[in-house]
Amino acid sequence: MQMTDPLEEIEWRLDAGQVPYRAALAEQDARNAAIAAGDARELVWLLEHPPVYTAGTSAAAGDLLDPRFDVVETGRGGKYTYHGPGQRIGYVLLDLNKRGKDVRCFVHSLEGWVIATLADFGIESWRAEGRVGIWTRGADGQEAKIGAIGVRVRRWVTMHGFAVNIEPDLTHFSGIVPCGIAEFGVTSLKELGVELAPGAFDEALRARAGDFLAALEKVAALP
């Protein structure tokens, strides 16, 4: 029996270089409209950005401590987030008109995709009640954020997605209160002793993509 690639209808785009945040945001806006109009395929886009702080719709001015990098207001949910080299960004543009109009399920499934992928590298991570993002034990044994989640849904097509700390400069997070949560730190795979070959995280994400899409299909199949 021939197996069907769950991603065959979705464009899977990998950028090895750094894509400026504003350019990526403009491309997402255009792709969102094209998907909604039926003129383009859905998209999973993996990339990195030059250092940038982004403000979500609930960002508080007091959480921007040191605007040493470009600060961009964006339409995603959440507060301030840092993006930069060594962090893998996943922009996920899917049509919920055909995958189930349940934003909570989409976010939960997106989190599960990241958690399962991190587990493939020996990193136990989890959701935390009342705290957005993906959490694990930092090098000091205290709970720390290893991944950020932020989405926007327009015309029932998703935008933005997740960011996972592979080996970023963690001092860059000190310019903000990440996601408005001051009492917990941030960590990375490298800080936890996991060093990855180029492309390894992308390959692991793709291997887990079928489970992510299957979770959405269960919702779409409900009456």
CA–chain centroid gap for 119, Å, is 16
Question: Is residue 49 domain-resident?
Answer: yes
Residue-wise pLDDT tens digits, 11-22: 999 998 999 999
Structural domain that includes position 165: 10-220
Q: By C-alpha distance, which of 45, 41, 80, 69 is closest to 182?
A: 80
Q: Which CATH number characterizes residue 176's domain?
A: 3.30.930.10
Query: What is the chain's mean pLDDT, rounded?
Result: 92
Number of domains the chain is built from = 1
Q: Indicate which residue of 179, 186, 189, 205 is catalytic.
A: 179
In a domain, residue 200? The reply is yes
Q: Is residue 123 part of a domain?
A: yes
Instruction: Please give the pLDDT value at position 209.
Output: 96
Per-residue pLDDT for 221 more than 70?
no
Q: What percentage of the chain has pLDDT greater than the value 90?
A: 81
Above 50 in pLDDT, residue 200?
A: yes
Confirm whether 4 is domain-assigned. Answer: no
Establish if 182 belongs to a structural domain: yes
User: What mean pLDDT do residues 153-169 have?
Assistant: 97
Of 190, 162, 212, 189, nearest to 46 by C-alpha is: 162
195 φ, ψ to 5°?
A: -110, 125
Which residue type sits at 137? R
For the chain, the helix, strand and coil percentages under 3-state DSSP, each to the nearest 5? 30, 30, 35
What pLDDT digit, counting tens, does each position of 51-93 carry?
999 998 889 999 999 999 999 999 888 899 999 999 999 999 9
pLDDT of res. 2: 45
Give the helix/strand (H/E) hosting 36.
helix 21-36
Distance CA 1, CA 144 (A): 44
Determine whether 105 is an active site residue: no
104-137 burial, b if ≥16 CB within 10 A, otherwise e? Answer: ebbbbbbbbbbbbbbeeeebebeeeeeebbbbbb
Residue 2 lies in a domain: no
Which helix (H) or strand (E) element contains residue 150?
strand 143-154
User: Mind listing the pLDDT tens digit for each residue in 89-141?
Assistant: 999 999 999 998 999 999 999 999 999 999 999 999 999 988 889 999 999 99
Query: In this model, does residue 217 exceed pLDDT 90?
Result: no
Q: Is residue 93 part of a domain?
A: yes
Q: Is there a domain that residue 124 lies in?
A: yes
Mean pLDDT of 196-210: 96
